[in-house]
Amino acid sequence: MRQLSLSLAPWRFRDATAGGHWHAATVPGCVHTDLRRANLIPDPFHGTNELALQWIEERVWEYHTVFTVPAELRAEKNLELVADGLDTVATVMLNGRVLGRTDNMFVAHRWALGRYLRPGENELLIRFDSALHAIRTTRRAHQPKEFNDPVGRSQVLRKQPCQFGWDWGPRFVTAGIWRDLRVEAWTGNRLDGVRVTQSHEPDGSVTLDLAPELARRDPQAQCHWRLALGRILVAKGVGPVIRVDHPQLWWPNGQGAQTLYTLQIEVTDAADRRLGRWVRRIGLRTIALDRSADPAGGEFFRFVVNGRPVFAKGANWIPAHSFVAGLRRDDYARDLRSAAAAHMNMLRVWGGGIYESDDFYDLCDELGLMVWQDFMFACAIYPGDATFQRSVRTEAAQQIRRLRHRACLALWCGNNEIEGLNPDLLKQPRLRKNYDALFHRVLPRAVAAHDGVTAYWPSSPHRPAGGVAHAAGERSGDTHFWEVWHARHPVKEYENWRFRFVSEFGMQSYCSPETQATFCPPHEDNVFGPAMENHQKNRGGNQIILDYVSRRYRFPRSQADLIYLSQLNQAYCMQTGVEHYRRLMPHCMGALYWQLNDCWPVASWSSLEFTGRWKALHYLARRFFAPVLACAHVPGDETAGIGNYRRSSVREVHLYTVCDAPAPATGRLRWDLFRLADGCILLRGRKRVTLRPGESLRQRTLDLGPALARHGRDHVVLRLALDLDDRTVSEDSVLLTQPRFLVLPPASTRTAIRLSGPRTAEFTFTSPVFQHRFAFELPGLLHRASDNYFDLFPREPRTVTVELTRTATVAQLRRALTRRSLVDTY
């Protein structure tokens, strides 16, 4: 096959509603980014500019180019225009004649050029009609309950759902050529792809079955293959089967190596004519969703990789940008590498976004991040007429065939929360029929037909026996738990439930002052002002943040302190939930918090800011997702009674070790109860522990009643740590009252800075007193710290390595350095 890329052609665009002027365009791209590049609109993310740009979705936009097809392509018998993605309601015209029309941005199209093509220059025009106009005039009888679209009925169109607004993202309903566009020329037959099926044999070998997929069926097509590992040729041959005798398996992050073989296949016909070449990286592995019965009387929901049950540690992934067209590998790498650095092994590609680009899945393969892949349906009920089903069937087939060979692919999931949010509507026969048609017939049949290996799950959350009550999630299926946040329940509510797998739970925080400054001038940073409210998309979100912060912390002195406390609260909430779910292992086998990333600068549930900065949560995630973990469960609680008098039932503390590392180990668990005023040790203990893969074990229960009665819970902190080979691998402080009641002594910190490389520095912090969640920043210097938001213990130096993006002197680092711990917010 020969190709002519059209992305490099001289594209231009215009507002065709009233015959506007032409301006230079970029392909792949979208109208919002093209308008911004032409200085026709202000920064969509700044202040309240979003509100003033809603007119864009009402207009008709045209994209135009001129191209010439080389003679060698014209010599082929079949010439086709291939569009991998048009967003969304498009009419494609070549030399004034209609080639085709589209209404699904997730479907690739192929149109024969034939008699439409000219020998010299050819004029290509793509007209994008207003998506809003299409929504108003399409499937008018479909009137779903709305949850995120303030205008409504976006579900009638197969378009990225969160373009229409979500509770963390803006409404930018865009249009454009969002993926590759090219001319392909071929003669005789064309290779569309190769289906590779792995069989893992009892003797440890792996067999790969190869099935070429051609534009025209050819039973005599032959595969000529080469299998390589790096630069080493493992095997080569001809035929439909490859046997690998001593395979190196692919494992998720933290479980082993992410070995990827390069498989190159050339397909020929009976006359030995080459039909096409297919090259992919594949990981030799098995991933199964185990739903077998367990001793507790329910069923497991766990992923088994190469025969080993793996606790899924991770987060939910949303689109990396509000304008997804043209995202590159580097745009994904920043956040995906941060996920792997926090010991995550799974991401859920959430169903309100997009099927991500190959760059995203390449990185997940390389980093060992298993992918729970939603189909792109979220929250509201969708149509189910025959035309809609036919479009979804095509969409699913294309995406499954594109992704099925991926080592990272762990699950296909039908939708996000449609079952959970619409239980009453789904009792209506017509709506139930449409729902079942899509999610219990069209999609599972497509997975069976085009994948046949990866498990399918109809919705998230879903309980096989039916029902949406949380009690059902303790017996089977997966759960979204939002009583903490949406219902404003206490954080300890996490510990009241024994779920099997938790695929959503979260807590919001504000983004850092540095990220906030990218959209909000300092004089407009009041959280209830117009700019900040526009960058808070959850109704009442600012009030909920302040509610939870006020329960745990004292009133902050400044906006920066409020941001800091909101991030501490978010980290505490997720730590409480994740550590509880990990303690339940193997009853519970997954914790994916909401959410990993942002699509614009905003107050949200993310642990990574839009700028890539790590929030406090992400630093703590690296600790609570560590392969071996020491954690504490405090079964008591502190409440306020009549007269606002504090009452506490805190007395016992259960000390746990949790291990999901692939190999056993022995270590030492240690604990110290110390006095805040002077660091004096009041109680101390040590225990040798054995850590076994897949095991959570209560190692000791401490009765702190006498010590608390004598010294007061406001004056003491329990320190917990786990050492392996004389190295501390897990450490934290257990607070026995709310932090706002702690009597923290005034803090002073001595800082030593040493340059250890051209762009690497070591910061050593020492404090004479305990400091809770000590955090440091280097405003104006892009950097990544090996740790942050940690506890400083009295007179114990803490060294952190900082990687800089440019060189800096010790003096420059010292001038830039800012520090804060909890006591500094008082």
Q: Which residues are catalytic?
A: 417, 504
Residues 6+ apart with CB under 8 A from 685: 670, 671, 672, 700, 702
Q: How far is CA 665 from CA 33, 101, 256, 701, 722, in A?
A: 53, 61, 16, 22, 12
Could you tell me which of 623, 599, 620, 622 has the C-alpha nearest to residue 609?
599
Q: Torsion angle of alpha carbons 533, 534, 535, 536, nearest 10°?
A: 50
Element (H, E) at 773: strand 771-777
Distance CA 437, CA 457 (A): 15
C-alpha distances in angstroms, 530 versus 48, 123, 535? 7, 46, 9
What is the C-alpha to C-alpha distance for residues 516 and 523, in angstroms, rounded to an integer? 12
Contact yes or no for 191/267 (Cβ under 8 A): yes
* Nearest-angstrom CA–CA distance, 357 and 329: 9
Output the CA angle 458-459-462, nearest 5 degrees.
100
Instruction: Measure CA 498 to chain center.
Output: 24
* Element (DSSP H or E) covering residue 364: helix 358-367
The C-alpha torsion from 435 through 441 and 444 to 446, rounded to 10°, is -120
Q: What is the distance between the alpha carbons of residues 826 and 823, in angstroms, rounded to a whole number?
A: 6
8 Å CB contact between 734 and 700: no
Query: What contacts 195, CB < 8 A, 6 or more positions away?
Result: 210, 211, 213, 401, 404, 450
Q: Residue 404 half-sphere exposure, CB side, CA atoms within 13 Å?
A: 23
Q: What is the DSSP letter of 115?
A: G
Q: What secondary structure letter does DSSP report for 676?
A: T
Can you tell me the distance from the alpha carbon of 773 to that of 792, in angstroms, rounded to the nearest whole number? 8
Question: Which H or E run contains 646?
Answer: strand 646-648
SS3 453: coil
Q: How many CB atoms lie within 10 A of CB 203?
A: 6
Phi/psi zone of residue 727: left (φ > 0), alpha (ψ -120 to 50 degrees), beta?
A: beta
Closest residue by Cα to residue 496 from 513, 479, 512: 479
| CA distance readout (Å), 662 to 88, 255, 305, 345 | 46, 5, 12, 13
C-alpha span between 769 and 323 (Å, rounded)? 48
C-alpha 446/C-alpha 462 separation (Å) is 20
- Separation CA 71–CA 498 (nearest Å): 67
How close are the terminal C-alpha atoms of the chain, in Å? 68
CA distance 107 to 274: 27
Output DSSP code: residue 54: G
Residue 795 falls in which region: left (phi positive, over 0), alpha (psi -120 to 50) or beta: left
Tell me which residue has tokens 């231009």.
12
Residue ranges of the alpha helices (H) in 53-109?
A: 71-74
